[in-house]
Structure 1
């Protein structure tokens, strides 16, 4: 059986982030042939084009993690109706220098959770625009905008049966998307 490695980029640095919890719970319900690796973005310096020829070790680590992956899962909160700066910073680092993006051609998907009723709809849309420019074939459907409220996660950070029923279909579609696009 072929295994597919998924680089997971969580756009929140908070230790108890709902989005970090979502990423872990999604990985737990994934098919056995997908393995998930959380990519650390919290130690990246601010992107500066002057550093393109001598990137920091954390930037090199980020780029290697993306290169090694078969697919991408972006899990983002919504800050001020867009993606967090730390996520945009990571995207910029891994897309530079111009013409040497490690994102290009990697299939991916976008998901996120927040306490608001619209979930992370605006952040996801902004992220999809960025990913389209970077040539990341991004799963368009099903879109899913999640509100974290009582009963979404259990006490251990896993999905409750109701949440799992909602997200298992999404995860199955994601797995099929990755397999369809990996050459």
Structure 2
């Protein structure tokens, strides 16, 4: 499995390097270089994980730390490393699993923001489930109402896990109004 992942990462790095040197991309050179660096770090981590992190004790210790640091709810990390004999005892609904997947995806995205379109594609790639736009939109709306996900103000169909985005947006709007008022005076 890890050999397949490493081969895929190598292909991605090569493709990014080609687009970097040929300038045949919509992304800036710094964005491409940043992605290459991230992929190289992932490759390095996978290589290390096969030798250094293979013991169960390290996984169990990380799981315990995660649970102790998040005592009210299980994180995506905790859920993925719960021992098999306990998984049947943990009560997770399909909605819980969906919400964890969405939050996990958005947290991995740049600036912890993701559009509805990108979520549709990312969920299909990660879960294999092709949600209809209206169903996904309804589920995201319910997540927003539960305050576990937030709409980016002024940006239709853009979601974030950053609670402070509301305050940042209000500050920006206040600055824009102040600048407008200065121009008028």
* Interval of TM-score (by shorter of Structure 1 and Structure 2): under 0.3
TM-score, structure 2 normalization: 0.27
Q: Which structure has the greater CA radius of gyration?
A: 2
More strand by share: 1
TM-score, structure 1 normalization:
0.27
- Larger RCO of the pair (alpha carbons < 8 Å, separation 6+): 1
